[in-house]
Amino acid sequence: MVDTNWTIHGHEFVNCNCSYGCPCQFNALPTHGNCQAVAGMQVEQGHHGSTKLDGLKFIGIFRWPGAIHEGKGEAAVVVDERATEAQRGALLRILTGQDTEPGATIFSVFASTLEKLHEPIFALIDFKVDVAGRKARLVVEGVTEGRGEPILNPVTGAEHRVRIDMVGGFEYTLAEIGRGWTKTSRPIKLEFADSYAQFAEIHLCQSGIAP
């Protein structure tokens, strides 16, 4: 049962440890048998009930020992330090899959696979993303540092552009695909280089992808 309606309209940059294309996007097993990812989002417009979320940023840091659907995952959330107490509470409810129809959003799906969720971190988030250009920067001092770039043709060096058009998904409708580098230092240590990255506009609500 959903107690409070919400919506988030903004942009995301996600970098995981899989090869370009990410088998998870096609219901296949992860490249290396396990899943690690860092996802940053910026809300252009959003609300949780009467609490506005415009302009806020947040990050999810994830690690699963196998495929995501097999569970036993571990996660940490970084929330924009500029958020008020009401906004922090609202974002944490959304990000932990609360006030969401079961399985309707990536937040709800991921939350159902976790066995450990670290205490939230409230910090300054340096996040810039150019979806069409497949470029991003995602940095929280002392926590995570990452960047995204276009895939390059190995022969000509030209930028290679490819997209994933997802029908009936729970995160995005259309994602630009690139590559990324990420290193985290706490509370979960991860490091991957020249691996899958996606850049997308997101428009989610308590029922899934908003029309």
* Model confidence pLDDT, tens digit, residues 138-155: 999 999 999 999 999 999
Q: What secondary structure letter does DSSP report for 119?
A: P
CB under 8 Å, gap of 24 or more: what pairs does 155-162 form? 159/134, 161/134
> Are 141 and 123 within 8 A, CB to CB?
yes
Q: Which residue type occupies 46?
A: G
> Are 138 and 38 within 8 A, CB to CB?
yes
C-alpha separations of 159 from 25, 81, 168, 177 in Å: 22, 35, 29, 11
> Are 97 and 112 within 8 A, CB to CB?
yes
* Model confidence pLDDT, tens digit, residues 46-91: 999 999 999 999 999 999 999 999 999 999 999 999 999 999 999 9
